[in-house]
Amino acid sequence: MKRSPLAPSAQAPVIAVDGVKLNTASTGIKYQNRDDLMLMSFDQPVAVAAVLTRSLTASAPVDWCRDVLSRGQTQAILCNAGNANAFTGAAGAVATEQCAKAVAEAGGYAPEHVMLASTGVIGEVLPDHLITPHIPALMAGTASTESKWLEAADAIRTTDTFAKAVSRQTTIGDTPITITGIAKGSGMIAPDMATMLGFIATDADLPAPVLQDCLSRFTEQSFNAITVDGDTSTSDTVIMVATAKASHPPVQSADDAILADFADALKSLMIELAVMIVRDGEGATKLIQINVSGADHDAAAKRIGLAIGNSPLVKTAIAGEDANWGRIVMAVGKSGEKADRDQLEIAIGGIPITRDGMCRPDYDESMVTEHMKGDDIRIDVHLNIGSGNATIWTCDLTQQYIIINADYRS
């Protein structure tokens, strides 16, 4: 698969997180000549938080993770690419358990401390017999290095054309803290996280409820604010762990003032990872940022942004570099959210287009057309009726998307 034209030109440095060891292996379940299995392990049980798909047809590993999560601790995360083990009934649940048991045995853990994630084809039972034989060597070879993080980001890919890894260095009090995350995803990406996986680790010492508050809050503004095709996966999973290797004053709440810098760093890391997923949107040639302001409330702003970001007509117009702003008007109208046609202000690339329910008399389409030729498209929609805001990221809809998805399984 050709690297996305929107991929970052270079991989920024990734920083290993104290207390996190990783390793990868090749099972050959779907992909040949590349690693497709990733293990992340911890010396001792660590605080864990997660956001899991809201799909009512969730996969077997998502069911498993929900159970582990209820105890707030994990000691290992195993992830495979190419088979989602979703809609696989009782057999799928058994396959999941076999994997967890193999990891637990190799590491001397309790199986209920092992988290699992799988992505790929739906409806085929995970062939755990192709995974479990790799576990002892996988566990023995784990290491806490930058290159292991990058190999992990590579191994969890399915149709992704580039690996996604981001680090931040921050402080809690005076203590230096590292946060590093990896993610995968490029299709079936929609508001509720779609087939995306994200694994984020920090050496901070945070209780599971605080970690969960941070993760949930920023997921809304990052992984839940991106859309490639409006489809939501059965396997969406973001897991965050805190290894507590750093010593800093205790933190009781996500709103604790001492956590402000950490929270900013985490939010920015999550948005960067999320936007990377859009940059790898199947067939994407343009990254589209949609800023909605002046809506009735924040949730309304988000739904309006998603109505625009999920509109095939808006997305194909942008693919064609056509400044067809009328389709943005259409998408606002269909969102079902409160809007006043005659108050609606639309700008593309910062160039104002509408006023008083119509095109501005001084509107010069040539400037917008010029903006549309770039690969970073910005749409601003101001409703002028309230103070609700949201930002959504999406990509254009191209022929390549159709080619990729009409022929994914074969």
Comparing CB distances to a copy of itself, the nearer of 178 and 310 is 310
Q: How far is the CB of 348 from a copy of itself (least distance, A)?
A: 12
- Asked whether position 231 contacts a copy of itself by CB under 8 A, the answer is yes
Beta-carbon neighbour count of residue 374 at 10 Å?
Answer: 12
The Cα 179–Cα 241 span in angstroms is 10
- Asked whether position 52 contacts a copy of itself by CB under 8 A, the answer is no
- Asked whether position 333 contacts a copy of itself by CB under 8 A, the answer is yes
- Asked whether position 192 contacts a copy of itself by CB under 8 A, the answer is yes
- β pairing state of 287-295 and 376-382: parallel
- Asked whether position 327 contacts a copy of itself by CB under 8 A, the answer is yes
Q: How far is the CB of 232 from a copy of itself (least distance, A)?
A: 4
The Cα 238–Cα 196 span in angstroms is 8
Choosing from 2, 32, 108, 406, the residue that interacts with a copy of itself (CB under 8 A) is 406
Choosing from 140, 143, 260, 402, the residue that interacts with a copy of itself (CB under 8 A) is 402
Choosing from 9, 56, 362, 373, the residue that interacts with a copy of itself (CB under 8 A) is 56
Strand partners of residue 291? 380, 391
Q: How far is the CB of 91 from a copy of itself (least distance, A)?
A: 6
From the number of C-beta atoms within 10 Å of its C-beta (0-12, 13-18, 19+), residue 355 rates as middle
Which residues fall within 8 angstroms of residue 328, CB to CB, at 6 or more apart?
Answer: 308, 314, 346, 379, 381
Q: How many residues are there in the chain?
A: 410
The Cα 288–Cα 405 span in angstroms is 21
Choosing from 26, 144, 316, 389, the residue that interacts with a copy of itself (CB under 8 A) is 316
Among the residue ranges 47-55, 64-72, 243-251, 372-380, the one whose residues contact a copy of itself (CB under 8 A): 47-55
Which of 52, 14, 10, 282 shows the shortest CA–CA distance to 157? 282
- Asked whether position 343 contacts a copy of itself by CB under 8 A, the answer is no
Comparing CB distances to a copy of itself, the nearer of 54 and 66 is 54
- Asked whether position 357 contacts a copy of itself by CB under 8 A, the answer is yes
- Asked whether position 344 contacts a copy of itself by CB under 8 A, the answer is yes
Residues 57-76 that bind a copy of itself (CB under 8 A): 57-58
Comparing CB distances to a copy of itself, the nearer of 130 and 330 is 330
Comparing CB distances to a copy of itself, the nearer of 172 and 339 is 339
Q: How far is the CB of 226 from a copy of itself (least distance, A)?
A: 15
Measured CA distances, 332 to 301, 361, 383 (Å):
10, 22, 9
Choosing from 90, 129, 174, 366, the residue that interacts with a copy of itself (CB under 8 A) is 90
- Asked whether position 122 contacts a copy of itself by CB under 8 A, the answer is yes
Residues 371-390 that bind a copy of itself (CB under 8 A): none
The Cα 154–Cα 36 span in angstroms is 8
Q: Residues binding a copy of itself: what is the number (CB under 8 A)?
A: 74
Among the residue ranges 34-42, 79-87, 156-164, 170-178, the one whose residues contact a copy of itself (CB under 8 A): 79-87
- β pairing state of 226-227 and 388-395: parallel
- Asked whether position 193 contacts a copy of itself by CB under 8 A, the answer is no
Choosing from 99, 311, 347, 380, the residue that interacts with a copy of itself (CB under 8 A) is 311
Please give the structure tokens belonging to residue 262.
Answer: 């950490």
Annotated catalytic residue 202: no
The one catalytic residue among 142, 158, 159, 195: 195
Comparing CB distances to a copy of itself, the nearer of 249 and 320 is 320
Q: Name residue 333's amino acid.
A: G
Comparing CB distances to a copy of itself, the nearer of 69 and 318 is 318
Q: How far is the CB of 19 from a copy of itself (least distance, A)?
A: 35
Residues belonging to the active site: 195
